[in-house]
Structures are given as C-alpha cells and as structure tokens.
Structure 1
Amino acid sequence: MATASEMSLTAGQQMISSCSGAILTSVFVTPLDVVKIRLQAQHRPQAFTKGHCYQYCNGLMDHTCVCLNGDQGTGKLPMEELRKHLKQNWYKRPGNFNGTMDALVKITRNEGITSLWSGLPPTLVMAVPATVVYFTTYEQIKWHLGYSYGSQSSDWWKPLMAGGSARVFAVSVISPLEFIRTKMQSEQLTYVRVWEAVKATVSQNGPLSMWRGLGATLLRDVPFSVLYWGSYETMKSHVLANQGRPQLTFLESFTAGGLAASVAGVLTLPFDVIKTHRQIELGEVVFGKGKKEVTSTWRLIHNLYQNQGLNAIFSGLTPRIMKVAPACAIMISTYEFSKAFFRKRNLELLENT
C-alpha cells in the first residue's frame, strides 16, 4: 500500500504543485518554441499565410494555431517601421535570423525580451488546467492502486497503468476545449458566436466531432506517459531504496525526469511525427483553411512512408529531445519540490495539534 507520506497530500495540494510546475515549465521552455516558429516562418513563409496551421508547444502541450491576416514583412527592421512590424502576429514578424542564438539576441534587442514569451498567455489557459488534471489524476490512480516507492517489484505495472490512464482522461477532457480555443483564434469569434459554431458543428457532424484528432494525440501521448512514468518511478524507487530517504532531492528528480523523458521521447518519436502531421492537416480542414482531405492516422503513416521513406517517420529526434527532456525535468522537479513542501507543512501542523 501507499506510504503515509504519499497519502498526506490532499488533492488540492497536488493540484497546486502541478500548477506551479506547469507555469515554471512554460516560462522556461516557451522562448525556445517561439524562436523555432520564427525561424520556420522565415524559411518557409508560404506555410504561415492566412489559413495555414502551425504547431506551438510551451513545453507541456502542443497547440494547433491558425495563421491570421498580416503582412509577412520585408525581412528588415528600420526604426521607422518597427512599430508597424510589432503589431503583426508574433509568428510573422521579420527578423533575418541566422540561427537559434542569433534569433534570441535579435528578438531581445529589437522587440524587447518579452517577445520571447509571445503567445504564452492564451496557451497557459489550456496548458495549466491540462497539466493539473493529468498530474492529479495520475497521483490519485497511483494511490488507489497502492503504489509507492517501497512497493514490491511485482508492482512495476502500476505507474504504467496510472500514467496511461491519466493521459487518456486528461486528453479526452481537454480536447473539446482545445477545439473551441482554435476555433476562436481562427475566426476571431465572440463567446456567443463560438457557442453557436459549436452547436452547429455538433448538429452537422455529431458530438464526436468535438474530439477530432483525439486518436492521433492518444497514439503518441499514452505510450509516452506509460514509458515516462514507468522509467521515472523505477529510477526514483532505486535511488530512494539505496539512500534510505523518503523523497528525492531537487537535482535527483530533475535528472530522473530528464532521463525518463529522453527514453520516452526516443521510443515514441514516430508517433510524434505522425501526430504533428495529422494535427496540422486536420486543423486546416476543420477550419476550412486547406484543401487536403483528412485521412485516417494509419493512412497517414502509409503516405509518409511511401512518399518520404522511413526517415520521415523518425525525423526531428534532436529537437524533440532538446525540448521534451528539459521541460519534463523542470516540471517533475518543481512538482516534487512543491509536494515535499506541503508534506512538511502537513506534518508540522499535525505535530502541533
């Protein structure tokens, strides 16, 4: 069964811990994706014209964003034009960047350091609730299964089951909200018109239309969660058993989280490539911005392999690991640190009563 220390946290404290981790992760990781998207917009401007979709990730969630109106710019930033360019959508601002570091320096110098966090506020509205639901559900399922770091070796399947189940639940809850968020962004609708658009979509295509693309998302996220939590809990149990301590240090949880994310990221890379292609294509069709026909996920796998070869399914390994590993390391270490704080506080309150 779970230890007293695992049971001493309330669901509210678990939610606060995951919320703090989500915010901190987003703050640290968002600049990397902002730079990535600005570089993509510079090298492939045709992919960022009105109606096309691109992927934005703040370290916790992937978002399908629809490009709106806006001049692509000349690629130069004379002072008299700076104000005009800064009014453009952040992903379309010109910059003449020569690489990641050059983009970081030029964006900070020409647009201000806050431009590195462009797009963060609206995605936090989705990412924080999704992360809270995911981590809290994971902890609750793990606790009900009776798993703790001192469990027997035969309990290895419990964190895997908890991780996979929590991800299915979180993605299923958030998917309709992400659909609505993208609908609002793509057509700049008011809340009243969004509600009318949602009712029309459900009426025409059925309730399941609110979960379009769910299969492709689960195809990547569930295996990742299973591998991540299985790896992390195994390393955690091993360290704590050898050290004879009830909890990891911040550095230990940071390292274990990064290693677990790297393992899961490598093994689920093909699913990530498929999900990205599927979501961008789906976004263009759902919002009437593209002419491609939405096909099944397995059909997309076949098309990628037939048209671009096996390498296409395993592309982007280094960028994925460079983003996923630090994001998961920051998230889990902050989460564990916050839980340790609440455990200590709860014990002090218990001793004083």
Structure 2
Amino acid sequence: MDPEVAVPADKVTPLQQMVASCTGALLTSLIMTPMDVIKIRLQAQSSQFTKGKCFLYSNGLMDHLCVCEEGGSKAWYKKPGCFQGTLDAFLKITRSEGISSLWSGLPPTLVMAVPATVIYFTSYDQLTAFLKSKLGENETRIPIVAGILARFGAVTVISPLELIRTKMQSKKFSYKEVHQFVSKAVSQDGWISLWKGWSPTVLRDVPFSAMYWYNYEALKKWLCEKSGLYEPTFMINFTSGALSGSVAAVVTLPFDVVKTQKQTQLWMYESHKMSIPSSMSTWVIMKNIIAKNGVSGLFTGLIPRLIKIAPACAIMISTYEFGKDFFQKQSVQSKQY
C-alpha cells in the first residue's frame, strides 16, 4: 500500500475488526485442532482415559477441560489405536476413520474460543486507538496497557460461560439443570462463584498478553525498518506473531502449569462432592510443585506449549492483520470511486 493512500488502522470499524478476528479464530482453530486431536489420541494410547478422569484440551486459542464419562471407546478422545508417532497417527486416523476425525475436538473451540478471540482482538484495537488519541502515536507503553485491559475483559466475560459449558459437558445436563446449578451456586456463594478458576487464568493470560503485544508491535516495526517497508507484509506479521508468542509462552508457562493443576483438582473435588480445601490457592499449588519437583516442575510441557502457541499466534495475528488490511483497501477504493 502506498503511503499516500494509506488509511489509519482506526478507520477500520469495530464490526470489520470483529469479522477479521472471527476469520482468524476460525482459521486458527481449523489448522491447530488436528494437532491436538492427534496429541490426545497418542496420550490415550499410552495411558487409557478412565471414566471420571479429566484432561485439558487446548488448541492454542483456548483451554477446555474435558471429562471422560463414556465407558466404551466411542468418544473421539478414547478411540483405540496403535500409533508409532505423530505422522503415523495422522496417516492411520485419516485412512481408517476419515479426514474429518482430525477435527473431532472442534465444537468446544467454536463455542468458546471464537467469541473470546473476537472480544479480545477487537477490544485491543479499540483501546489502542483510544490511547493513541490521548497519549500520542509513539507511546511505547500503549500495547502493554491495551493488551492487559483487553485480556482482563475477555477472561472476565468468558470465565462464567466456560464454567457452565464444562458443567454441561460433564454429565450432559439439560439447560434446566444448568439453570438450577447456577442459581444454587449464586445463592450459596454469591455471583463470585461463577468465576472459579479466574485468578490463575488471569495470572497466566494477562502477563502473556502484555508481553505478546509489546513484542509483536516492536518486532513488526523493526522488521519493517530492516526491510525498508512502510507497511508490514503478511510474512512480517506471521514472523512477529510467532516470535512474540513464543517468548510470552515461555515466561508464563509456570502459571499455565498451575492453572492446569487447579482446574483438574477443582473438578475432582466437585465431582466427588467434596469441600474444596484452602490449599487450592494458586500460590500454594505453585509452592507444592516446587517442593515436589523443583523449579523445573513449573516448566513442565515447555516444548508442547511452544509447538502449539507459536503457530497459533502466527496464524491468528497474520490473518487478523490481513483482514484489516483488506477492509482498509476496500475503504480506499470506495472513496476513489
């Protein structure tokens, strides 16, 4: 795009930002879901998922707590196989069950991750435009502040919905039973009870968001300057997203480990109708992990997290930026004619 006809980012409407982020979330889900389906099938092969056991399903966009309730092997995460590795699993699943089996875990992502991503990215751009109008275009702290506020909002809005979705999934509750569960929880513990698991999610996602957006904007600007470009290309956005996502993923991994443990432990206590002990706090769980496995225990699963987060961030942000650029060009063309 020529500098003479460049349209500022804030000329993209909120609706257009929502469309761009929705497209990015859908594309990321479609590409990343098969990777996690294969990973879970490999895990189920080495350690059978028993009834009542829960595991975390995540495709780089959002985490979902899945609970094994079927005794047989019909569920997508419990189908038997004899796989020698990732590529072997990919070939055997597609050959014996059809290519569609690789997207068996997609529905929960579409229900939760897509709206959460739309809220997050649209809020970030709107907050960035507002802060730039108040603080100036060159204020380097804007991506950090906008990222933190946008993530706070997205996590807070989605957290109760995630709790309800997990409850519905666990024993196939009807909407009436879910309404009764919510009403009982609110009457006993207040509205705050709908945000169980909110604190570890915030401790992981808010720092991730701050580091991600700051590094992304800095890398994008640096790569543009090195390339002598006025506007970032698709590959610059893709590379900046992958690198900034990787850095943020490594730094926030301890909180991801704690969040996973807290979610699974909460489910175990609730499913057995046991009172949740005070030792379930985020910091106590972190101390227990360090006491048992050392500091390295807080970085369990680093490689799988990087393999998942880096491409997910790259696909999401590059698609989102491409979508916004498309709407900007459409706006310019409509004004010319």
Q: TM-score, normalised by structure 1?
A: 0.89
Matched, 1:191 2:175: yes
TM superposition shift of 1:289: 7.4
Map of 1:265-276 to 2, 5 A cutoff? 265-276=249-260
**Could you tell me which residue of structure 2 aligns to residue 121 of structure 1?**
107
Map of 1:104-253 to 2, 5 A cutoff? 104-146=90-132, 151-152=137-138, 155-243=139-227, 245-253=229-237
TM superposition shift of 1:347: 1.2
**Could you tell me which residue of structure 2 aligns to residue 35 of structure 1?**
38
- Taking only the aligned residue pairs, the percentage that are identical comes to 52
1:309 to 294, 314, 324: 294
Equivalent position SS for 2:132: coil
Query: Which structure 1 residue ranges, 5 or more long, are not aligned?
Result: 73-87
TM superposition shift of 1:102: 1.5
Checking the alignment, whether the CA contact within 8 Å between 2:64 and 2:108 is kept in structure 1 is no
Equivalent position SS for 1:64: strand
Shift of the 334–28 alpha-carbon distance from structure 1 to 2, 3 Å rule, reads: same
1:320 to 283, 286, 305: 305
1:297 to 251, 269, 282: 282
TM superposition shift of 1:38: 1.1
1:26 to 18, 26, 29: 29
Equivalent position SS for 1:54: strand
How many aligned positions are there? 330
Deviations 1:58-79 (A, max 9, x none): 221011111112225xxxxxxx
Map of 1:56-135 to 2, 5 A cutoff? 56-72=57-73, 88-135=74-121
Q: Distance in 2 between matches of 1:120 and 1:14?
A: 23
Specify the code of the residue in structure 2 equivalent to 1:20. T
Q: Distance in 2 between matches of 1:281 and 1:202?
A: 21
Q: Distance in 2 between matches of 1:191 and 1:220?
A: 31
After superposition, the CA RMSD in angstroms is 2.0
TM superposition shift of 1:7: 1.6
Query: Which structure 2 residue ranges, 5 or more long, are not aligned?
Result: 1-5
Matched, 1:261 2:264: no
Checking the alignment, whether the CA contact within 8 Å between 1:160 and 1:230 is kept in structure 2 is yes
Shift of the 147–62 alpha-carbon distance from structure 1 to 2, 3 Å rule, reads: farther
Specify the code of the residue in structure 1 equivalent to 2:21. S
